Each structure stands twice: as structure tokens, then as C-alpha cells.
Amino acid sequence: MVRRMVQIFVSHSQYDKDILASFDKVFARTSVASKCMEYEKMHSPQWQDIRNAVTTSETVFLWVAFEVGLACAFGKEVWVFEQGSSFVEFPIPYLTDYMIYNLEDQEHFNYVRSIIEGYGKPLYIFPLGVDHRTKRNIPQGIYVDCNHCHAKYALHTNVTSFCCPSCRQQLFLQEK
């Protein structure tokens, strides 16, 4: 049986060169391919190329909101990565996972790599009730249920407060 090359769709803009270079380093240390598409350099109709890339990808990593709805429509997990030093002003609905990162931080670099490597593990048929993320050792994060917009997602950053990526309202995590 020939195993297909696993890929993760990485959405970005022509202005994301530094971010993309950092993620390229992470992917280079894994067996998972990144499918990067720069909307500004695509030929018409761009939405078809993006749709095809999202469809054939295991999951979606993104910074651009258009692909969120598309990934949701295809039932893909949507990982939103936000640089800790920046603030994105537009809301990002339908996400499943959220990470505030600094890829100069080796711990963050290794964490993102563990996510990518997890998706690179084969998706065997699991017994009923077994979560594919647990079997693949994909980090689970901390469950968040926003008290403003009621978005539910996993947070993958050790912070005490942050702005919800779905509604951009400030959230404070309770200490356990």
C-alpha cells in the first residue's frame, strides 16, 4: 500500500514572508509537506485552487480569514496562529485551535513541530470513541469557551489573558 504524502495547507499573504520563513523551518524538520499558496500570485479563479488545496490537506494553518469558512465547510480542523507581538483586528470564526506564538522561542518552535508531526502520523481506523488527535499525539491544548461569543476552541499558549480570536474580546483564564 502506498501512503500518500501528508500535507497541511498554510494560508498566507505576500506580506507574511518572515512568518512563512519561520514555518518553513519547522516543516523542514518533519515528514509533512506544507502547501503554501499566495493569493496575490494566483491566477483566476483563485478560490478553486484554494478549495482543492484545502480538500487534499490534513488540516489548515492560517492567518487569512477567507480559508476559515472553506476549511469549516470541509470539516477540517482550523489552527489559527497569531504572532504574540501583533494584533489581528478582524474576528476569525470557526477555529478549532488557537496559538499565540513567537517562533524565535525554541519551545514554541518545538510545539508547532509536534503539531505538524502529529498530523504526519497515519490515520488508521480507530475503535469507536478514540480521538484521532490522542492517537497521533497532537497536543490537546486548553479548552476555551468564550463567555462573549461562545466560540469553543483549544488554546495552545500558556497565558493568563488574551483576546478571543473569534470575537476579539479580552478573556481571562481562571487559575486551577
| CATH code, domain carrying 128 | 3.40.50.2300
Q: Is 17 helix (H, G, I), strand (E, B) or coil?
A: helix
- State residue 129's pLDDT score: 65
**Chain mean position to CA 68:** 10
- State residue 72's pLDDT score: 79
| Of residues 22 and 114, more confidently modeled | 114
Q: Is residue 164 part of a domain?
A: yes
- Provide the percentage of residues in the chain whose pLDDT is more than 70: 81
* Domain coverage including residue 104: 7-172
pLDDT digits (tens, 9 = 90+) for 37-86: 765 566 667 778 888 888 889 888 876 555 677 777 888 898 988 888 77
CA distance linking residue 115 with residue 128, whole number of Å: 23
- State residue 71's pLDDT score: 79
Q: Is residue 2 part of a domain?
A: no
Q: Is residue 132 part of a domain?
A: yes
- State residue 133's pLDDT score: 86
Residue given cell 518552535 in the structure block: 109
Q: Indicate the pTM of the whole model.
A: 0.75
- State residue 53's pLDDT score: 86
- State residue 111's pLDDT score: 94
| Residues 6+ positions from 109 with CB-CB distance below 8 Å | 22, 25, 26, 103
Total domains in the fold of the chain = 1
